[in-house]
Structure 1
Amino acid sequence: MMREFMALDRNLKLRALTVFLTVLLGSSIGPNMTIYYVQHFGSFWTGVLLMVVSIAGLIFGLYGGHIADVIGRKRTIEYGQIAMVIGYAIAMVNNSPWLVNPFVTFFGFLLAMIGSSLADPAEQAMMIDSSTPQNRRFVFALIYWILNIGVMIGAAIGGWFFRDYLFELLLFMTIVPIINYCIVRFGMTETLERSEHEQTTSILSALKGYWAVLKDRRYLTFAMASVLASVVYLQPDYYLAAHLSQSFHEYNFLGMDIYGQRMLSLMLVFNTVIIIFVMGWVTRATEKWRLVRAFALGVLLQGGGFALSFVLQDFWPLILATIIFTTGEMIGVPASQTLRADMMNPAKIGAYSGVFSVTRPIGAVIASGFVSLSAVVNNWGIAALLMMVVCLAIYLVARAAKMPAPF
């Protein structure tokens, strides 16, 4: 593995480092911000605010995908990092020992989300540009593995320090995009090959650029399925976090008091530990499966595990639910990534990446709606709704797989 890593393009090696730094602190704060908002604004308004953030992420993700094909991957990422620095700095100042303002904190995180969404398509495009068909599977597996290590450490940090040391966490969160900006600015090289066709950064130009992708019915169907799959994947940041903060029965484990926030962190840590140590075995066991079959089983188990966790309130049953949804994640994620790569037009990777980048924000809008909806329906209703989302995602992927390629 080390030999393959050393043979990678320099951009990919540095990308691995920036992913780790971003995820490390992002996962210590991101999931817990839902709890923060619930405490200050209540469940309904928390859902509304999270929906606003998700819509902003969708819009700027699309625009970021376009300008990455116009001004370059590198400059787009740099602009995103600058916005993240400003956003996290605002949130830090408004959660200091001298000042606490949740309304301005929300604005800071909104700006940081805009920066992250702007940079994401460019980062994905740069990874594809810098990799080859021969090493691309290894590259994505490596990034996924690093991401999970970052999540494991970050979730542990958040669970133990978020409540009492939010200011310090936000201080480090402000420093990370500064470090990443320097890595991109001085360490990475531009990978965009300039098009012969003149393009501008205007909104109209962006709309024209995406029109060709939107006419690809097969990819559009798969993208809709990916939106629904992300609704399932994002539950720890949304309804699961709210459910545990309000309903979890406190438990003493190995002398530690486990309350809702810490239970969420423990579930995420356990999820990541399983992935790190079991992912290789699961991949070998399922490598000959048809992609659609693997996706269907993976999403079904993942969604079923989360739905089960919505109606549970005790420590050990929630650990069992974690095992179930983690197993589904390990089966479904590789299949989903492979299907996505197979359905992209190689001549328009940037535009296709831009379209795919908005599937997560759209999914986040729907997932945030679950939080607001929970104010009028019970846990069983939310669990049933999630399983309906799972079934529709499976149907759409199966349908997309049967469509002929348009290129």
Structure 2
Amino acid sequence: MSLRERLARLRVDTTPLRESRDFRLLFWAGTVFYLGGMVSYVAVPFQLYHLTHSNFAVGLLGIIELVPLVVFGLYGGALADHVDRRTMVLGTGIAQAVLTLGLVLNASLPHPQVWTIYLIGAMLSAAQSLQRPSREALIPRTVRHQQLSAAVALSSLGMQIGLLAGPALGGVLIQAVGVTWCYAIDVTGMVIACLLFARLRRYPATDRSNPPSLKGIVEGLHYAVRRKDLMGTYLIDIVAMFLAMPTVLYPALAATVLHAPSAYGLLISVGTVGSLLATATSGWTARVHHHGRAVVLAAATWGAAVALAGLTTNLWLVLACFALAGAADMVSGIFRGTIWHQTIPDSMRGRLAGIEMLSYSLGPLGGQARAGLVADRFGVRASITSGGVLCVAGVAVTAAWLRGFWAYDARTDEHALHERRVREAREAGPATEAAT
């Protein structure tokens, strides 16, 4: 095989974008949605600090948003298994646009109200948590089974575009025209995304389902706990993020360790650059079948790269380590997403998507607290290095405990085989859901 052919096999597989109309709509709607959301992401804390001059007031918003995230994430997952998922993403998208318009109006006042920001922040957290499970659960309904790895990578690519461009655009807008226009840009993006969501086909539940209830949510939790492959995807990521999430330390790392305060922006973005590079070269992932093994190795690589970043005071080496960490985290995410989409029955997909959302939200939140506490006691570098080392050890212990996860093979796993047969039968029918 020539070098050109080898490089071509590394390219991100764009087949889902070419073949599936509805996946294209989801991809562009999600990209625009995330881009606008990241503009507001930098505007809200800036406005809160400007109004209160209190770091605690800024951090309080995250605490306020946590309860809606947990409650409505689980409830939104149950809804996604019962109602039409197109209706869910469209309705919650419109709700987010209206709520963000409230931020525009509040920012336009001569004296913007802090309590309004907190209230709208909590309501936005609820709307986003209701939407996310349905949006995630739509992906396997819009592409063919063998395209799921590529679809996960492409969806991540859209998110990374927002992560890179959104904060930069928000920073420019804050300085040039103020936070009001940041929120207005977010509203515009949401309106465009909703117009794209409205063009989706209807995606009602494929099986008979019961209305959302506590019993249904518990049923989803029991289903996840019974399957070691799913528990592996949740626990490996939670362990990795809780033990080795260094983001909260970036300001102190830049100022007191690297002696380059201006490098803060680079530290924030370099992990996303690594993720973007991993996604752009993710063509190889379709040829890997031991997905559990890939998740474990990628999570351990994340920890090792973070640990190495804490051992050096050279800015460029630190950036290289965090770029590698971002790439490893993205590889882990691609394979975790593939396991989810290839093995979870559509009747459970929404509830499990709600659990997934909590698993990759709570780990980083706890990790930020752990990193800060250790840094206050032992120093920034000690916190980063110890977290990375503990991450590698924790991932190894978790993988050893969930032995079946390491052995997972998409070619032989009973759940993957069953879902493949179900999807092939559906795709062979007259109403192919992944129509072009």
Task: State whether residues 104 and 184 of structure 2, in contact with CA within 8 Å, keep that contact through their aligned partners in structure 1.
Answer: yes
Q: 1:371 & 1:94 partners in 2: Cα distance?
A: 34
Q: 1:221 & 1:2 partners in 2: Cα distance?
A: 28
3-state secondary structure, aligned to 2:146: coil
Match of 1:379 in 2: 380
| Residue 121 (structure 2) pairs with residue 121 (structure 1) | no
| Residue 41 (structure 2) pairs with residue 30 (structure 1) | yes
Task: State whether residues 274 and 326 of structure 1, in contact with CA within 8 Å, keep that contact through their aligned partners in structure 2.
Answer: yes
The structural deviation recorded for 1:340 is 3.7
CA gap 1:55/1:43 in 2 versus in 1, 3 angstroms: same
Question: Sequence identity of aligned pairs in percent?
Answer: 15
Match of 1:254 in 2: none
The structural deviation recorded for 1:122 is 0.3
| Residue 158 (structure 2) pairs with residue 152 (structure 1) | no
In structure 1, which of residues 37, 41, 66 is the aligned counterpart of residue 78 of structure 2? Answer: 66
Q: Where does the alignment leave 5 or more consecutive residues of structure 2 unmatched?
A: 1-12, 416-436
Counterpart residue identity of residue 319, structure 2: I
The structural deviation recorded for 1:100 is 3.7
3-state secondary structure, aligned to 2:145: coil
Task: State whether residues 283 and 330 of structure 1, in contact with CA within 8 Å, keep that contact through their aligned partners in structure 2.
Answer: no
Task: State whether residues 137 and 353 of structure 2, in contact with CA within 8 Å, keep that contact through their aligned partners in structure 1.
Answer: yes
Match of 2:147 in 1: 135
Q: 2:201 & 2:343 partners in 1: Cα distance?
A: 27
Larger radius of gyration: 2
Which region of structure 1 is more displaced relative to structure 2, 223-232 or 129-138?
Answer: 223-232
Match of 2:334 in 1: 334
In structure 2, which of residues 84, 88, 92 is the aligned counterpart of residue 80 of structure 1? Answer: 92
In structure 2, which of residues 183, 187, 209 is the aligned counterpart of residue 174 of structure 1? Answer: 187
Q: 2:166 & 2:289 partners in 1: Cα distance?
A: 33
The structural deviation recorded for 1:230 is 4.6
Match of 1:7 in 2: 19
Q: 2:389 & 2:53 partners in 1: Cα distance?
A: 28
Task: State whether residues 295 and 336 of structure 1, in contact with CA within 8 Å, keep that contact through their aligned partners in structure 2.
Answer: yes
Counterpart residue identity of residue 173, structure 1: D
The structural deviation recorded for 1:123 is 0.5
Q: 2:335 & 2:220 partners in 1: Cα distance?
A: 25
The structural deviation recorded for 1:48 is 4.9
Match of 1:224 in 2: 235
Q: 1:243 & 1:307 partners in 2: Cα distance?
A: 17
The structural deviation recorded for 1:153 is 1.9
3-state secondary structure, aligned to 1:259: helix
Match of 1:359 in 2: 359
The structural deviation recorded for 1:121 is 0.5
Task: State whether residues 88 and 174 of structure 1, in contact with CA within 8 Å, keep that contact through their aligned partners in structure 2.
Answer: yes
TM-score after normalising by structure 2: 0.74
The structural deviation recorded for 1:58 is 1.9
TM-score after normalising by structure 1: 0.79
The structural deviation recorded for 1:133 is 0.7
In structure 2, which of residues 51, 62, 80 is the aligned counterpart of residue 50 of structure 1? Answer: 62
The structural deviation recorded for 1:119 is 0.4
Task: State whether residues 94 and 194 of structure 2, in contact with CA within 8 Å, keep that contact through their aligned partners in structure 1.
Answer: yes
The structural deviation recorded for 1:128 is 1.3
1:354-400 Cα deviation digits (max 9, x unpaired) = 32122123224414534763784342454234643553244324533
Match of 2:262 in 1: 259
CA gap 1:295/1:205 in 2 versus in 1, 3 angstroms: closer
In structure 2, which of residues 116, 123, 130 is the aligned counterpart of residue 111 of structure 1? Answer: 123
Which region of structure 1 is more displaced relative to structure 2, 18-27 or 311-320?
Answer: 311-320
CA gap 1:59/1:301 in 2 versus in 1, 3 angstroms: same
Task: State whether residues 234 and 364 of structure 1, in contact with CA within 8 Å, keep that contact through their aligned partners in structure 2.
Answer: yes
The structural deviation recorded for 1:126 is 1.1
Counterpart residue identity of residue 80, structure 1: T
Q: 1:131 & 1:16 partners in 2: Cα distance?
A: 12
1:236-279 Cα deviation digits (max 9, x unpaired) = 4xx1455468758785xxxxxx736xx33x34544444544564
Counterpart residue identity of residue 168, structure 1: W
1:137-182 Cα deviation digits (max 9, x unpaired) = 2222222222222322223223434455322111111222222223
Task: State whether residues 240 and 310 of structure 1, in contact with CA within 8 Å, keep that contact through their aligned partners in structure 2.
Answer: no
Q: 2:47 & 2:311 partners in 1: Cα distance?
A: 22
CA gap 1:289/1:195 in 2 versus in 1, 3 angstroms: closer
| Residue 414 (structure 2) pairs with residue 402 (structure 1) | no
Task: State whether residues 298 and 331 of structure 1, in contact with CA within 8 Å, keep that contact through their aligned partners in structure 2.
Answer: yes
The structural deviation recorded for 1:22 is 1.6
Which region of structure 1 is more displaced relative to structure 2, 281-290 or 124-133?
Answer: 281-290
Match of 1:89 in 2: 101
CA gap 1:401/1:99 in 2 versus in 1, 3 angstroms: farther
Which region of structure 1 is more displaced relative to structure 2, 281-290 or 154-163?
Answer: 281-290
Task: State whether residues 57 and 114 of structure 1, in contact with CA within 8 Å, keep that contact through their aligned partners in structure 2.
Answer: yes
Task: State whether residues 14 and 188 of structure 1, in contact with CA within 8 Å, keep that contact through their aligned partners in structure 2.
Answer: yes
Counterpart residue identity of residue 195, structure 1: D
In structure 2, which of residues 207, 223, 238 is the aligned counterpart of residue 213 of structure 1? Answer: 223
Q: Where does the alignment leave 5 or more consecutive residues of structure 1 unmatched?
A: 252-257
CA gap 1:37/1:64 in 2 versus in 1, 3 angstroms: same
Counterpart residue identity of residue 400, structure 1: L
Q: 1:86 & 1:76 partners in 2: Cα distance?
A: 15
Q: 2:130 & 2:341 partners in 1: Cα distance?
A: 21
Q: How does 1:310-325 map to 2 (within 5 A)?
A: 315-325=315-325
